Amino acid sequence: MLGRRLFSTETASKLIGVVGGGQMGTGIAFVGALRAQSKVLVVDGNATQLDKSSSFMDSLLSKQVQKGLLTEVQAKEVKSRVRFSSKIEDLSSADFCIEAVSENTELKQNVFRALDKVAGPDTILATNTSSISITKIAAVTSRPEKVIGMHFFYPVPVLELVEIVKGLATAQTTVDKTVQLARAMGKTTTNALDVPGFISNRILMPYINEAFLTLQENIGTPEDIDTTMKLGTNVPMGPLTLADFIGLDTCLNIMRVLHENLGSDKYAPAPLLIKYVDAGWLGRKTGRGVFSYAAAIKK
């Protein structure tokens, strides 16, 4: 079922810009085009990544067709609303920009410096950060009142939540427009203070980190740990499987943000988590994390 349009028919040419063609960015573009029925421009400096983004978009639409949620004609219509570019300057006509690059403060600040230069003066600049200070990101722009956190959850087409995070200078009108966009994308929103990890990762990442400490101390096997938490707390997957799903490098980056900014040893990353990342065992995306996914990747 197609979602309601974010913009009125008189302004249907308006554009959502997404910076970052990874799975998060592509997922955001997908819900923008499908549910908000908006035109979307995905920007990534890596041409290979843009090709992957386009292919991933096709696979998402194909699943919608297979499930009977879209017809082939509707799927083509949705895809026609999405464009891909390697030039951030092409976002000059975007009315709302969402950054979805890796969880690295310097990288995100560099993206926002560039967006601030090319985007129109009324354009809202949102970050999909899962732990980094919105205020710190906004400080590198000339429009901190128009900078906001818009934390989507992976996989974006499936999970319903968007965490809305105001920076110190974020205007209420920016919040209102961001909530409007999130709801047009079919999302439920929550509001969180601009503190490390916000609500979700302030709770989730220490839980995952503790699972690594439990594994490190041989209190249980990976299977025992995950089965205990999955069946004992009625969650869809155990913490170690979830970490592999998120990406162990992402989990480690968030734990480091929590540890550095909150200053408590309870947020210190588990040595075993660090070791896995150093080994390149990052989870499903590399075929190996706590568990092996080589067979799944071959398929």
Catalytic residue among 38, 163, 209, 253: 163
Catalytic residue among 38, 128, 131, 201: 201
Per-residue pLDDT band at 296 (split at 50, 70, 90): low
pLDDT recorded at residue 9:
36
pTM of the predicted structure, to 2 decimals: 0.89
Query: Does the structure show a pLDDT above 50 at 175?
Result: yes
pLDDT recorded at residue 6:
46
Our answer to whether residue 201 is catalytic in this structure is yes
Our answer to whether residue 163 is catalytic in this structure is yes
pLDDT recorded at residue 249:
95
Catalytic residue among 53, 128, 151, 209: 151
Per-residue pLDDT band at 8 (split at 50, 70, 90): very low
Averaged over 121-131, what is the pLDDT? 96
* Start-end of H helices in 4-152: 23-34, 47-66, 72-80, 105-118, 134-138
Query: Does the structure show a pLDDT above 60 at 13?
Result: no
Our answer to whether residue 151 is catalytic in this structure is yes
pLDDT recorded at residue 298:
54
Q: Is the dihedral of CA 29, 110, 86, 53 positive or negative?
A: negative
Q: What angle do CA 7, 9, 13 make, to 5 degrees?
A: 70
Query: Does the structure show a pLDDT above 90 at 279?
Result: yes
Catalytic residue among 130, 131, 209, 253: 130
Q: For residue 274, what are the CA distances in angstroms to 69, 196, 251, 289?
A: 42, 20, 10, 12
